[in-house]
Amino acid sequence: MKDQQQAMELVRASLARRYAAERRFRVAGLTAILLGLTFVSFLFVSIIANGHPAFWQTVIQLEVKFDSQFLDPTGERSPDVLSAADYGGLVKQTLREMFPDVSGRRDKRELYGLVSTGAAYQLRNMVMSEPALVGSTKKVWVPADDDVDMLMKGHLSREAPEAERRLSDKQVAWIDDLIGMGQLEKRFNTTFFTAGDSREPELAGIWGAAVGSFFTLVVTLCLSFPVGVAAAVYLEEFAPQNRWTDLIEVNINNLAAVPSIVFGLLGLAVFLNFFALPRSAPVVGGLVLTLMTLPTIIIASRAALKSVPPSIREAALGIGSSKVQMVVHHVLPLALPGMLTGTIIGMAQALGETAPLLMIGMVAFIVDIPGSAFDPSTVLPVQIYLWADSPERAFVEKTSAAIMVLLSFLIVMNAFAIMLRKRFERRW
């Protein structure tokens, strides 16, 4: 009796301490989750805060006199002459006319520096598509240089001493003049969505990389979905229980955890050096990513096949269908939503993958938009990597904006996969 009381005393005395430990543990758990969630939100906030200005681009209005003497002195108006004309000179002439009191080589060069080098190409394209412009005067909005853009977006400080600023005091004064005249404003940046890569931030866009990603994913999907589903069907429905099957399973599980860069080494040694496939081509990228995503797709497809109840199979076999008919007519249609979900998740992984593609040369600087899966190209994540390495301040926001685009693709794909699962998920 006394022992029991003593024991109760002991327990009671320790209760406060034990409850405190309980509370501490609980708070630690909650803190861990909140930390994780903070990381998620911090990541998104920092990317969006950095990236959203990239969707706007500073443009300058030029009143261009398409001087026929200057562009086409012979008056032939032939495409050859027009395309070879000095449009860079035309832009400079226009700028000199806008600021007639600028003299001296140095000042002139600074003046020309306000406008992007892309302006000349823009004028050329206008003339080429409409030769009648020659001889007329037209107001044209052309992209400003990235330094001007950065000043307008507040990334270049006006207060900083001139020597530490990428724009001189005179240039800043001209910019203020242009703002005063209503000839400089920020517009929605369509270049970013339609152009390929460029060394000039104001001319760089993600379209080339997006098309490259598209071709790569198409190749990956066309190869990995049929092969992955076929492998899963074999292992789940046909394979006998033996060493060979075990070996295949062990291999699949291991491949799922092999670092992605090792797949890049495989692609370099086998596809490029042995089979001599073209470097930097989406078709090779697709092949490498196929090998990488196959384990994901096989594992997901097997889970989907497993969830189809055996009664379906027995019923099909019972009314006399062959095993292949049973699988093709009954099991596959029921397992297809699960397989598709797994495939979409695998594709999302492939879309975000960078390291193996670096190995097979998809890091090249490519301006042209790829026209087929055999043209050299780059993909979105690699484009992000390339821009992240560029020194210009303007590329920081381009990189963040490209990340926003990539993440929105991934979110859409994953949301679609979740929707598919919710819509077709079946409890038997």
Partner 1 sequence: MESPVLLLVLLGLSALAYQLGRRRALSVAGGQIRQLHSLPSYYGYHVALWCAVPALLLFAAWNAFEGSIVTQTVVADLPAHIRELPPEQLALVVNDIRNIVGGNIVSKEVDADMQAAADHYLHLRNLSRAALSVSVLGLAIAGAAFALTRVRREQRARNAVERAILVFLIASSTLAIFTTIGIVLSVLFESLRFFQQVSVTEFLFGLQWSPQMAIREDQVGSSGAFGAVPLFAGTMLISAIAMVVAVPIGLMSAIYLSEYAGRKFRATAKPMLEILAGIPTVVYGFFAALTVAPFIRDSGSMLGLDVSSESALAAGLVMGIMIIPFVSSLSDDVINAVPQAMRDGAYGLGATRSETIRKVIIPAALPGIVGGILLAVSRAIGETMIVVMAAGLSANLTANPLEAVTTVTVQIVTLLVGDQEFDSPKTLAAFALGLMLFLTTLVLNVIALHVVRKYREQYE
Asked if 10 interacts with partner 1 (CB under 8 A), we say no
**Cβ closer to partner 1: 147 or 353?**
353
Which residues make Cβ contacts (< 8 Å) with residue 158, sequence separation at least 6? 151, 172
For partner 1, which residue of 219, 381, 394, 405 counts as binding (CB under 8 A)?
Answer: 381
Asked if 233 interacts with partner 1 (CB under 8 A), we say yes
Minimum distance from residue 128 beta carbon to partner 1 (Å): 23
d(CA 256, CA 292): 8
Grouping H, G, I as helix, E, B as strand and the rest as coil, residue 99 is: coil
Asked if 8 interacts with partner 1 (CB under 8 A), we say no
Report which residue type is found at 119.
A
Asked if 388 interacts with partner 1 (CB under 8 A), we say yes
39 exposed, middle or buried (CB, 10 Å; 0-12, 13-18, 19+)?
exposed
Binding residues for partner 1, total number by CB under 8 A: 84
Total residues found in the chain within this entry: 428
Of residues 78 through 107, those in contact with partner 1 by CB under 8 A are: none
d(CA 145, CA 159): 20
Report which residue type is found at 266.
L
Of residues 40 through 69, those in contact with partner 1 by CB under 8 A are: 40, 43, 46-47, 50
Asked if 254 interacts with partner 1 (CB under 8 A), we say yes
Tokens of 191: 């270049």
- Taking a C-beta distance cutoff of 8 angstroms, is the pair 219, 286 a contact? yes
φ and ψ of 239, to 5 deg: -60, 135
Minimum distance from residue 381 beta carbon to partner 1 (Å): 4
**Cβ closer to partner 1: 133 or 231?**
231
d(CA 152, CA 171): 13
Q: What track of x and - describes contact with partner 1 for positions 331 through 350 (by CB under 8 A)? A: -----------------x--
Asked if 227 interacts with partner 1 (CB under 8 A), we say yes
Q: Containing H/E element for 58?
A: strand 56-65
For partner 1, which residue of 102, 126, 172, 235 counts as binding (CB under 8 A)?
Answer: 235
Minimum distance from residue 151 beta carbon to partner 1 (Å): 21
For partner 1, which residue of 190, 251, 311, 408 counts as binding (CB under 8 A)?
Answer: 251
d(CA 403, CA 410): 10
Selected range binding partner 1 among 28-36, 60-68, 102-110, 197-205, rule: CB under 8 A: 28-36
Minimum distance from residue 304 beta carbon to partner 1 (Å): 16
**Cβ closer to partner 1: 181 or 258?**
258
**Cβ closer to partner 1: 24 or 52?**
24
Q: Do strands 56-65 and 184-188 pair parallel, antiparallel, or not at all (unpaired)?
A: antiparallel
